[in-house]
Amino acid sequence: MIYIERGGTVTVGQLGPGEYRVRFGLGRDWSGRTFEQDRASYEFVDSLTFWETVRVLENRREHEYQTWRLTLHPVLGGTAKVVQVSDQDLLSADAPPVTRATIEAQASRPP
């Protein structure tokens, strides 16, 4: 888990190749583990796939790898979709992934 203050940025490095789910929480009054007020938890619908290619050229290794840049607030023209998840799922590595059924259930809820 990484805490990022409003307006802040963070770079996460040295992730191994694979598929990663991104969950995040928003709110006020950070306690060190959760927000105490106005708390909401979300997960990006699409997972992030990281890959790395290593080539050896003339006794030199070249690394090529996937990078992603995420914004945790709505962006005009943005394409990322999120769904709300429980606070418990936010903190659990064993939470089930978001599915189309989850998205449809949230879309059918009245505001």
> Is residue 8 situated within a structural domain?
no
Mean pLDDT of 98-108: 52
Question: What pLDDT does residue 99 have?
Answer: 56
> Is residue 53 situated within a structural domain?
yes
E strands in 21-96: 23-30, 35-44, 48-50, 52-57, 60-65, 82-85
| Reported confidence tier of residue 35, pLDDT bands at 50, 70, 90 | confident
**pLDDT exceeds 80 at position 110:** no
Quote the domain boundaries for residue 77: 18-108
The larger pLDDT score, comparing residue 8 to residue 92, is at 8
7 secondary structure, DSSP code = T
> Is residue 12 situated within a structural domain?
no
Cβ contact 42:85 at 8 Å: yes
Does the pTM of the predicted model rise above 0.75?
no
Tell me: the pLDDT tens digits for 38-71?
989 898 998 888 888 888 888 898 888 888 888 8
> Is residue 3 situated within a structural domain?
no
Percent of the chain with pLDDT over 90: 3
- Rounded to whole angstroms, the Cα distance separating 82 from 62 reads 35
> Is residue 80 situated within a structural domain?
yes
Report the domain count for the chain: 1
> Is residue 59 situated within a structural domain?
yes
